[in-house]
Amino acid sequence: MPSHPETTWVILAGGQARRMGGQDKGLVTLNNKPLIDYVFARLSSQNATIAVNANRNQDVYAQYGNVFSDVFEGFPGPLGGMHAAMSHLDSAWIGFVPCDCPNLPHNLLEKMYAAIEEDTEIVVAHDGESVQPVVTLMSKKIFERLDNFLANGDRKIVLLYDLCNTAFVDFSEEHDAFINLNTPDELEKYGTLS
């Protein structure tokens, strides 16, 4: 397996952001910059090819990369974005990160790629305490399983991981790298700290 397989990294910005009052979370600002700017910068600095899963404001998101919306209706959550990416993109591997995670590790891609072995199908980040299920790298080979999984009404990503050959990558040294900003309160607190 090459150290950098043919991969597109997708910023997941397709959710409803209920806890953010329904605002488009990727475009909510932190220190006067949209959250997606921080995520885009972290991925770009690691030479990622970037695309965006978004179900609204697609013209705005287009400045960050190829934009596509969910195929499954009814906002099936991050899995909907993952499914859409596999439907739209030709890459052998597709990486995913949430749009509200401004502090992603600077070595995210390198460590995720290093975990791929011949039979690996999914690679998932772990912060030392818990799995970060939306920070993941998936082989396109699992598309059919993902399609069936969603068609059966399943929405829990971790259950999909149990159906595949999944490797977990330890990022415990960068525990704070996966801070999610889900609410206006969290955004305000993080903004004063950063």
Asked if the model's pLDDT at residue 1 lies above 90, the reply is no
**What is the CATH number for 169?**
3.90.550.10
- Is 12 annotated as a binding-site member? yes
Q: Tell whether 11 is covered by a domain.
A: yes
> What's the whole-number average pLDDT of the chain?
88
Residue 1 lies in a domain: no
Residue 99 confidence (pLDDT) above 50:
yes
Q: Name the E strands within 3-77.
A: 7-13, 29-30, 33-34, 50-54, 66-68
19 is a domain residue: yes
Triad 73, 78, 80: Cα angle to 5°: 30
Q: Is 14 annotated as a binding residue?
A: yes
Question: How many domains, the chain?
Answer: 1
What mean pLDDT comes out for the span 137-156?
A: 90
CA distance 82 to 39: 17
Q: Is the pLDDT of residue 65 over 50?
A: yes
Is 87 a domain residue? yes
Question: pLDDT digit string (tens) for 102-137?
Answer: 999 999 999 999 999 999 999 999 999 999 999 999
Q: How much is the pTM?
A: 0.91
In this predicted structure, which of 14-18, 58-62, 160-164 has the lowest mean pLDDT? Answer: 14-18
Residue 181 is predicted with a pLDDT of 77
**What average pLDDT does the segment 173-185 reach?**
82
Q: Is 167 labeled as ligand-binding?
A: no
> Can you give the residue range of the structural domain that contains 132?
7-192
More confident of the two residues 147 and 76: 147
Residue 168's closest CA among 140, 118, 139, 128? Answer: 128
> Does residue 2 belong to any structural domain of this protein?
no
User: 99 lies in a domain?
Assistant: yes
Residue 126 lies in a domain: yes
Q: How many C-beta neighbours within 10 Å does residue 167 have?
A: 19
Whether 187 is in a domain gets the answer yes
70 in a known ligand binding site: yes
Name which residue leads in pLDDT, 74 or 190. 190
Mean pLDDT of 31-42: 94
**25 carries a ligand binding annotation:** yes
